[in-house]
Structure 1
């Protein structure tokens, strides 16, 4: 290419750059006094200032310069970041209605087919789906005796699997995924799966691929530039294929239910949804249809499997690194429950140390550090700033769980954060692993039951041993993006 050709291209590039800068300036003009933040580049925004492998750390670092409420640009879109317990509480709790909508997240749109699930929807659709889902889960025992029995039974299946290992080291990843998933599967699909069921294992593999895909760099870039990245080759297509595979499985299950369900005798969540769909046939304003049942079921199945199983896996690694904590738990279990009966939820009130350890595990691992995006539903004055309607909000749960005003040793694992001087369990307002406000996790009650019963049953029956020196175990996340995921490791379950 000759000199004039190169000069022409550079001139065109400069003109495009200037035009984009003007467009971005106009886009933000008239929005009022947005929170301060780093100056964005055209098109790129502030993504060059964010470490793709540790997004939440980058955002927390920016708050040191710009304060607990600041603005960044993800591509061309402004995002308000909330960093600290006080800022998150003021938004999600004190102004719950204004900050109660789901924010922009293209990967979530990909799962929910544009907002047809309970997690990704907004407005009246969200209210109807959430109300229905909560009511149905409660009817099938969430927070009641029946779901407790399902968890207890599944915990015994899991103990049998660990006994089969004969104290040999194993990777617990898919053992926990199978057990935890079977609890929600029994509620959603009406059945549990055998641990060696090939279709079940394939499904869990797809789900693991989805959650890893949400956190890797390609998934995060898709959230910023979905139209561009979606057309590019790359590992993110494994994520898309995994989403499609899970949705196809759910569609098949829905079809099976359609052929056998009884309007007067619902067996599970899908049956209840089909009954509601029958009741609203002909109503053009109804939010109960095929897309909704598939995506809401996806939400329950996905969130009900990966979050709890990852917490169990991370938690046992922490106990390997803290044998004194494990020993104290053994003592409390032997005193309160003994060895001859299964743990039950009622035991939790008499086991303050165990309760404190589980809370501290959830706080320390910081599973979903950035939370799931919110957005404001109207032009809003927040502190000394004006936030325009529709602005995406990142409530940094990581900044809450490690707020030094709430936790004395924010970067250390210390069950004492949830114990008073007499060893009694105490609550802490900064404990927000399930988020808070109107968008608090739908399955919080179920997750709390599962964590207590699985952890307690495991430690009632086994002592934990690492095949390598515990100093070699790395508690820093293997991957940090949407979620913090632990390194893969092995441990041996030694019968007590």
Structure 2
């Protein structure tokens, strides 16, 4: 009996010791979390954070809705607010004066990209979009040179876009006015422009391999915004071992990298260093200038990553904008009618649209810009990171803080736009003439602005005008078009069907 009692007491003591140990450990973890994440003096205000997860669960974990969840806090706390995504300390900047001060006036302190775990897993510090330092400087400069050398701002590239617009119009015309989903036809057309620069070729709309490539890219855009991908970025040491969408994401990236790698190998077979045909040829030539690969970013891995960055940047935003454009002019038939009238007056039906027509078509130009404003493709811009302790609007921003630029608030600011929540091309017209507003920043500004802005602008005008020249777009009978957006790193419209009725 005594032995039983002794054993029972020992078990109780062991249990007490275990609970004491656990409580002590929890207390230490909470203390460490507090010390690591306590707000320094003059740090921007923001919602109260929870231990370990920060403000993560105060927002929809679907990244594509983050910009909406942030706006109530902006109204409450002001134009510089702080939020924590787990251990990622972030600051959101709103309002044109502060945005300009941060990304142009203090640009050197805001040039770096944050090291997000999912992106690092695939790209390391390679490519253009999320690279920093020497790699970013070398790759951006090289990419701009290649875009210029292979036609940007020249008639040759404009003719390439016109030819692709012809193929797109033909493909859509084959639907004979019946309902269809324009998603991948538009993706294919826009993708062919950047592919002609990167790979030196375009792909037919029935090319199975290229269609698979477009679908992989589409899956990546969606899965990078998934809850599991967000959690991977916040807690990579845990989620890299768990199954889920993040593993499929990495698998899809590897498939795309393999596609580019094979294109690179194919180029090598008949590569002439003195006569580059495209981006890959030019990059291979550049690599020969640096025998010591440790001193430069010109290597095979960077070729693959930069090519993929160019492909995504050159396809995703422009194709999304065109899909939003078809949706908005369908929902606003009076706008479509005015665009048709301007096209008929300036271009007619007998020739292709050219960039020279742009200045004579202020209304069409205004419609395209209003689509960019309302479509809000990249609502919080591409994130940046503070590289040195800084002060903005009197607030202290420590080195390493992630910075998000609130383009959603800027593009819907009632101080800047007469009807901020209504599709209204008049926002970009003054006395009947086109006028671009300072508060319009879909391509960002400064050194980190989108290097393909000029290319995107050319594509949008020619593609949109060519489609409007040939078709009247209508909703299918008994189908109401939706202006909702789907989950994704960029804001794209949910899948929709449309009727392209040929104009006589």
Q: Which residue is 2:196 aligned to? A: 186
TM-score (norm 2): 0.93
Q: Indicate which of 205, 227, 236 corresponds to 1:195.
A: 205
- Residues 139-193 of structure 1 show CA distances to partners (whole Å, capped at 9, x for unaligned) of 0011221111111000001111111111111100000011011111010000011
Match of 2:92 in 1: 81
Q: Is the 8 A contact 1:370 1:482 kept in 2?
A: no
Question: Alignment partner for residue 58 of structure 2, among 25, 30, 49?
Answer: 49
* 2:377 paired residue number: 367
Measure how far apart 1:5 and its partner are.
7.8
Distance 2:17 2:481 in 1: 57
Aligned residue number for residue 443 of structure 1: 452
Counterpart mapping for 1:219-258 below 5 A: 219-258=229-268
Over residues 468-488 of structure 1, what are the superposed CA-to-partner deviations in whole Å (9 max), with x where a residue is unaligned?
A: 456x22212132x53222111
Q: Is 1:466 paired with 2:478?
A: no
Aligned to 1:102, the other structure's residue is in SS state coil
Larger radius of gyration: 2
Q: Partner of 1:280 in structure 2?
A: 290
Corresponding position of 2:111: 100
CA deviations on 1:398-444 (whole Å, 9 max, x unpaired) are 12211222212211111111111x11111111111112222111111
Q: CA deviation at 1:41?
A: 1.6
Residue 414 (structure 1) aligned with residue 421 (structure 2): no
Query: Is the Cα contact below 8 Å between 2:226 and 2:245 reproduced in 1?
Result: no
Equivalents in 2 of 1:295, 1:248: separation in Å?
Answer: 11
1:60-79 aligned at under 5 Å gives the runs 60-79=71-90
The corresponding residue for 2:483 is 475
Distance across 1 between alignment mates of 2:260 and 2:332: 41
Check 1:491–1:6 CA distance in 2 against 1; reply closer, same or farther (3 A cut): farther
Contact 1:100 1:375 in 2 (8 A): yes
Q: Secondary structure at the match of 1:72?
A: strand
- Corresponding residue for 2:214? 204
Q: Indicate the residue corresponding to 1:37 in structure 2.
A: 46
- 1:379 corresponds to 2:386: no
User: What is the Cα deviation at residue 194 of structure 1?
Assistant: 1.3
Gaps of 5+ in 1: none
4 and 44 in structure 1: CA distance in 2 versus 1, 3 angstrom threshold: farther
Query: Residue 201 and residue 385 in structure 1: after superposition, are their counterparts in 2 closer, same or farther (change >3 A)?
Result: same
* Cα distance in 2, alignment partners of residues 230 and 101 from structure 1: 25
SS of equivalent residue, structure 2 residue 288: helix
CA positional deviation for 1:230? 2.4
